[in-house]
Amino acid sequence: MDWKTALDQLETGVLRSANKINGTWTPNQDVKKLILEAFKAGELIEENGFVDKHNLMPQHFTAERGIRLVPGGSSVRRGSYVAQGVIIMPPAYINIGAYVDEGTMVDSHALVGSCAQIGKNVHLSAGVQIGGVLEPIGARPVVIEDNAFIGAGSVVVEGIQVSKGAVIAPGVILSNAVPVYDCVNQIVLERGAAIPENAVVVPGTRPVSDRLPWAREMGLSLSCAMIIKYRDEKSNASLELEELLR
């Protein structure tokens, strides 16, 4: 397969830059190699006042695709998949290799980074940053599974997985360097572990370690994320408003 065929198949959803194999999300390294080949093969051109590689210019949309791309500066790059029923509010950006499944909302100022995997009926609220990764090719992507809700201004990077039905409150940062405290089960998740299904995660703080005595004396804290509950009927009802916006 050449890079052009790979990009075509990525756009139709036939090919993905990551796949769930035996319950584990795994990057498709062959596909990522072909994406990198496309970058090398591209030549800079100008189109409508923008400059990019000639073979990676933004996709064009028609009503037949069943995708709402609201006017106002959004862009979906070549080689990314956007399913029927997706809504993209301006300005938003979906990068190469990304996969955005049916019924998902990509709100204003949201970024879906390269090779990120977004499930069905996900809401990426305003200002959400979903990290992308092309290199190293073996690095796992950020994954947001079906029915997850990512609150405004949240940042999910470094291959973090948000499992089905989880709710990430506004302003939460999820990365390998930020610990997640499960206050319900009274455990600390392993660094980089997936956010469990239906978890409700809020931003929190934690004391600095004894290795920084001055900072501890000053009462300084470091950021963390906290699971404060798991979704129930009440929390589900609070999210039903999202359907009225579609």
159-204 pLDDT per residue, tens: 999 999 999 999 999 999 999 999 999 999 999 899 999 999 999 9
Task: For residues 88-105, give the mean pLDDT.
Answer: 98
**Secondary structure of residue 58 in the 3-state scheme:** coil
In a domain, 199, yes or no: no
**Per-residue tokens: 215:** 């900072």
Confidence of residue 55 (pLDDT cuts 50, 70, 90): very high
pLDDT averaged over the chain? 94
pLDDT tier for residue 102 given thresholds of 50, 70 and 90: very high
Q: Tokens representing 161? A: 């997985």
Mean pLDDT across 214-234: 91
CA–CA gap between residue 159 and residue 218 (Å, rounded): 34
Specify which residues 173 forms β-bridges with. Answer: 155
Is the residue at 232 inside a domain? no
pLDDT (tens digit per residue) in 69-96:
999 999 999 999 999 999 999 999 999 9
66's tokens: 């069943």
Residue 130 and residue 156 in contact, taking contact as beta carbons nearer than 8 Å: yes
pLDDT score, position 210:
84
Q: Has residue 78 been placed in a domain? A: yes
Residue 44 tokens, joined: 């800079």
59 located within any domain: yes
**Number of structural domains in the chain:** 1
Residue 47: which domain range?
A: 3-177
Query: Is residue 218 situated within a structural domain?
Result: no
Q: What is the CATH number of the domain that holds 27?
A: 2.160.10.10
Please report the pLDDT score of residue 241 as a whole number.
45
Confidence of residue 244 (pLDDT cuts 50, 70, 90): very low
Question: Is residue 237, in this structure, part of any structural domain at all?
Answer: no
What integer pLDDT is reported at residue 48 of this predicted model?
Answer: 85
Half-sphere exposure of 60 (CA within 13 A, CB side): 1
Q: Does residue 112 lie in a domain region?
A: yes
Is residue 104 included in any domain, yes or no? yes
Q: Record the tokens describing residue 232, joined without a space.
A: 């129930």
- Predicted TM-score (pTM) of the model is 0.93
Write a three-state SS string for 79-147: CCEECCCCEECCCCEECCCCEECCCCEECCCCEECCCCEECCCCEECCCCEECCCCCCCCCCCCEECCC
Per-residue pLDDT tens over the stretch 17-40: 999 999 899 999 999 999 999 999
Per-residue pLDDT, 88: 98
